[in-house]
Amino acid sequence: MKSVTPLSRHFSTARQFQNLVLLTPKLEFTQKSSALTEELCGEILDRYPDIKTLKKLHSKIIVDQPLCSNPSIGIKLMRAYAACGEPGITRHVFDEITEKNVVFFNVMIRSYVNNHLYHDALLVFKTMASQGFEPDNYTYPCVLKACPGLENLNVGLQIHGSVVKVGLDLNLFIGNGLVAMYGKCGCLMEARRVLDEMPSRDVVSWNSMVAGYAQNARFDDALEVCKEMEALRLKPDAGTMASLLPAVTNTTSNNVSYVKEIFMKLAKKSVVSWNVMMAVYVKNLMPAEAVNLYLQMEKNRIEPDAVTIASILPACGDLSALSLGRRMHEYVERKKLRPNLLLENALVDMYAKCGSLRDAREVFDRMKFQDVVTWTSMISAYGLNGQGRDAVALFAKMQNLSLSPDSIAFVSVISACSHAGLLEEGRYYFKLMTEEYRIIPRIEHYACMVDLLGRSGQVDEAYSFIKQMPVEPNERVWGALLSACRVYSNMNIGLLAADHLFQLAPEQSGYYVLLSNIYAKAGRWKDVTTIRSMMKGRGLKKIPGISNVELNDRIHTFLAGDQSHPHSEKIYEELDIMRLWIFLLTAAVTLDLYMIISPHSPNDIMPAICTG
C-alpha cells in the first residue's frame, strides 16, 4: 500500500521550511499557478528539468500547499536534483521529510551512487537499517554498485551475506548486481559462481560477466562468455559491446571486427551502440573510421548525445579536423550539453590538437570546473604549439589551486619543456614529480627526459640517464636518443641506440633512415649504402609521414607518391602547374626580379589518397 502522507507533513518545522526557500532563488514563476496541477508538476519533474527551472518549480511546490499532497512529488524532486548533479540538494529534501519510507531511502542512495558519492550512499544504507527500514530488491543492486574496487570488497561480501540471509539472493536484479560487484573487484571466480547459481539470467546477467572479464583485461574469457550467451540464443546487444570496450583498446583487428560484427547484427542500433563503435575505432588508432561512422550516424538521423561528442572529438583532434570539431562545438552549445566536464575537456584537447590555441583557451576559461585533465590538456596545448613558457606558467597556476598534478600532467609539462628547450625547468619538474609528489616515473617520463636532454644537446648525459634507469628502456627512449644523435652528429652513441632499436623494432624503417642520416653527415657513404641494403634485404620501406586536410566535411589523407585518390590524375596535373610556377618564380628570383620565400620545396608536396 502506498503512503498517502501529504508532502506538507514531510517538512517538519517552519525553520526547515525556510531553509528550503533559501535554497531556491526568488524567481517569479511565469506559469499561471492554477495551471500547475499536481499531475503537471510530476510530469515536469519526470522530464528532469535544468537546475534553474527545477529551483523555480521547487519554490512553487513549497509555497503551494496543494502541490505537497503527494509524497511522489518529493521523490520526483529528489530524483530531478540528483539528475542535475546536485545530490547535496537531494539530501536537503530527503532530510526534511519526516515520514520516510523505504522508497525515499532507495532514491537517496541511488542519487549518491549516480553522482559517485559511494561513501555517502553506504552511510545512508547503514542509517536505514538502524532506523528499522528493511532494504529491498531496489536497495541492494544500488548499494552493490557502491562497492567498486578491492578496498570495498569487504562491504560487498557483507552485503552478499545479508542478501542471502533475507532470502533475496534469487532475485534477478540483485544477482546481476552481485555479478557486477564481484567482477569490478576482480573476483571473477566468485562472479562466475553467482552467475551459475542464478535461477534465471537475462542479457544483463551475461553482460555483467563479460564486463567483469573485460575490466580485468581477460578479453578471451570475455569473448568466451559472449559465445556462451549466443549459444543460449541470447543476442549480444549494445550493453555487450559496451562491456567489451575496456578489453578492445589497442587490440587486434580481429577483435575490432568482432565488435563491429555485433554492431552490424543489432536489430535496433541505439545511441550507445554507435557511441561504443566509435570509441572502439578511436581507441584503436582508427580516427578516420570513427569520423565516418559519426557521419553515418548523422545520416541515419540518430541524435548524438554528450558521450557521442566526447567520443568523436579525440578523432577530430587526431585528424586535425578543425571544422568538424567546430561543428561539434556548435552542437554542444545548441543542445546545451554544457557544463559537462568530460565533454569540455575533450573540446579543449580537440582545439589544441587542431592548432587553435585561442579556441582551446576560450573553452578552458569558460569552464565552471576544471580538473587535472583540463589543466593537463591546456598545458600540453601550449607545449604542442611551442609555447613552453606558457605551459610552465600554467602548471604553476594549477599547483597554486592545489590541484595535484598526476603522472600524465608531468609528461605534458616535461615534454613542453623539451620542445621549448627549457632544460633546467624540465629537470626541475622531473625532480618535483619524484621527490615532492612521490610519483614513480614510468617509461613515458624517462622517454621525455631523454628527449629533453637530447634536444638540448646533452647527448652523453642522456645516454648515462638511460643506463641508470630502473626500467628497461623501450623503443621510444632509444628513438629519442637516436634523434638527438642525428641532430648533434654523435655517431658513437647513435650506433648504440640504433643497435637497440634494430632489436626492439626491426620493422621500423624510420630508425634505419635516421642512422643512415648520421652516417651521411659524417661522410661515411659506405655505411650509408650498407644500411640501405639492409633495409632492402629486410623488405623495409620508409613509411611516409602523412598529413590530413579537411575539405567539405571529408578528411583527405596525403602522403608522398600515392595514387589511390579518385582524382589522383587531376591532382598531379595541378601539381605540375604549381611546379612550373615555382620554377618560373625561382628563375625570376635568380634574375633578381622577385623575392619569393617558400616554406616547402616542391618535391615535398605530393598529394594522394582520400580516406573519407
Partner DNA sequence: ATAGGGTTAG
Residues 409-428 that bind DNA (CB under 7 A): 409, 411-412, 415
Is cis: bond before 339, omega within 30 of 0?
yes
Q: Which of these segments, 61-69, 191-199, 376-384, 432-440, binds DNA (CB under 7 A)?
A: 376-384
Q: Which of these segments, 25-33, 429-437, 442-450, 601-609, binds DNA (CB under 7 A)?
A: 442-450
Binding mask 79-118 for DNA (x = CB under 7 A): -------------------------------x--------
Whole-number Å distance between alpha carbons of 281 and 272: 14
Q: Please count the other Cβ atoms lying within 10 Å of the Cβ belonging to residue 503.
A: 10
Smallest CA-to-CA distance from 534 within 497, 575, 499 is with 499
305 binds DNA (CB under 7 A): yes
For residue 491, CA distances in Å to 57, 456, 552 come to: 75, 17, 47
Q: Which three cell numbers stand for residue 529?
A: 649504402
23 binds DNA (CB under 7 A): no
Q: Please count the other Cβ atoms lying within 10 Å of the Cβ belonging to residue 305.
A: 16
Closer by beta carbon to DNA, 289 or else 349 = 349
Residues 370, 375, 379: CA angle, nearest 5 degrees: 160
**Looking at 442, 524, 554, 579, which residue binds DNA (CB under 7 A)?**
442
207 binds DNA (CB under 7 A): yes
Looking at the DSSP bridge assignments, the partners of residue 557 are: 548
**Looking at 224, 444, 461, 562, which residue binds DNA (CB under 7 A)?**
444
Smallest CA-to-CA distance from 440 within 481, 485, 470, 477 is with 470
Site for DNA in 55-74 (CB under 7 A): none
The residue count for binding DNA (CB under 7 A) is 73
**Looking at 38, 64, 96, 202, which residue binds DNA (CB under 7 A)?**
202
How many CA atoms lie less than 13 Å away from 479 in the CB half-sphere? 15
Site for DNA in 26-55 (CB under 7 A): none
137 binds DNA (CB under 7 A): yes
380 binds DNA (CB under 7 A): yes
Residue 81 C-beta: closest distance to DNA, Å: 16
Q: H helices of 432-567, where?
A: 443-455, 459-467, 475-487, 491-504, 509-521, 525-537
Residue 161 C-beta: closest distance to DNA, Å: 19
279 binds DNA (CB under 7 A): yes
CB 311 within 8 A of CB 279: yes
Closer by beta carbon to DNA, 241 or else 610 = 241
Residue 85 C-beta: closest distance to DNA, Å: 10
Residue 102 C-beta: closest distance to DNA, Å: 10
Site for DNA in 307-366 (CB under 7 A): 307-311, 313-314, 317, 340-343, 345-346, 349, 353
Closer by beta carbon to DNA, 444 or else 461 = 444
Closer by beta carbon to DNA, 53 or else 407 = 407
Site for DNA in 383-412 (CB under 7 A): 383-384, 406-409, 411-412
Q: Which of these segments, 11-19, 199-207, 388-396, 499-507, binds DNA (CB under 7 A)?
A: 199-207
Site for DNA in 141-170 (CB under 7 A): 141-142, 144-145
CB 97 within 8 A of CB 106: no
Residue 293 C-beta: closest distance to DNA, Å: 13
Give how far the C-alpha of residue 555 lies from the chain's centroid of Cα atoms, to the nearest Å: 22
**Looking at 147, 373, 453, 484, which residue binds DNA (CB under 7 A)?**
373
Site for DNA in 513-572 (CB under 7 A): none
Q: Which long-range contacts (CB under 8 A, 24 or more apart) does 552-556 make?
A: 553/295, 553/323, 553/324, 554/610, 554/612, 555/288, 555/291, 555/319, 555/321, 555/611, 555/612, 556/607, 556/609, 556/610, 556/611, 556/612
Q: Which of these segments, 273-281, 461-469, 584-592, 598-606, binds DNA (CB under 7 A)?
A: 273-281
Residue 272 C-beta: closest distance to DNA, Å: 4
Residue 525 C-beta: closest distance to DNA, Å: 31
Q: Please count the other Cβ atoms lying within 10 Å of the Cβ belonging to residue 388.
A: 21
Does residue 529 sit in helix, strand or coil? helix
Site for DNA in 463-492 (CB under 7 A): none
Whole-number Å distance between alpha carbons of 481 and 450: 6
Indicate the residue type of 569. Answer: E
Whole-number Å distance between alpha carbons of 343 and 357: 17
**Looking at 24, 115, 216, 243, which residue binds DNA (CB under 7 A)?**
243
Closer by beta carbon to DNA, 142 or else 153 = 142
Residue 136 C-beta: closest distance to DNA, Å: 7
**Looking at 67, 198, 242, 485, which residue binds DNA (CB under 7 A)?**
242
Closer by beta carbon to DNA, 59 or else 308 = 308
Residue 391 C-beta: closest distance to DNA, Å: 10
Closer by beta carbon to DNA, 123 or else 342 = 342
Residue with cell 531553509: 19
Q: Which long-range contacts (CB under 8 A, 24 or more apart) does 133-139 make?
A: 133/100, 133/101, 133/102, 133/105, 134/102, 134/166, 135/102, 135/105, 135/162, 135/166, 136/102, 136/106, 136/168, 137/168, 137/171, 137/173, 137/174, 138/102, 138/103, 138/106, 139/102, 139/105, 139/106, 139/109
372 binds DNA (CB under 7 A): yes
246 binds DNA (CB under 7 A): yes
Q: Which three cell numbers stand for residue 161?
A: 551475506
Whole-number Å distance between alpha carbons of 603 and 147: 61
Residue 50 C-beta: closest distance to DNA, Å: 16
Q: Which of these segments, 35-43, 134-142, 292-300, 511-519, binds DNA (CB under 7 A)?
A: 134-142
Site for DNA in 446-465 (CB under 7 A): 448
How many CA atoms lie less than 13 Å away from 119 in the CB half-sphere? 1
**Looking at 203, 367, 439, 496, which residue binds DNA (CB under 7 A)?**
203
For residue 134, CA distances in Å to 122, 127, 128, 168, 325 come to: 15, 11, 8, 12, 51
Q: Which three cell numbers stand for residue 327?
A: 561543428
**Looking at 17, 48, 173, 428, which residue binds DNA (CB under 7 A)?**
173
Smallest CA-to-CA distance from 194 within 209, 184, 207 is with 209
136 binds DNA (CB under 7 A): yes
CB 501 within 8 A of CB 508: yes
270 binds DNA (CB under 7 A): yes
For residue 563, CA distances in Å to 40, 301, 570, 574 come to: 64, 34, 11, 14
Site for DNA in 563-582 (CB under 7 A): none
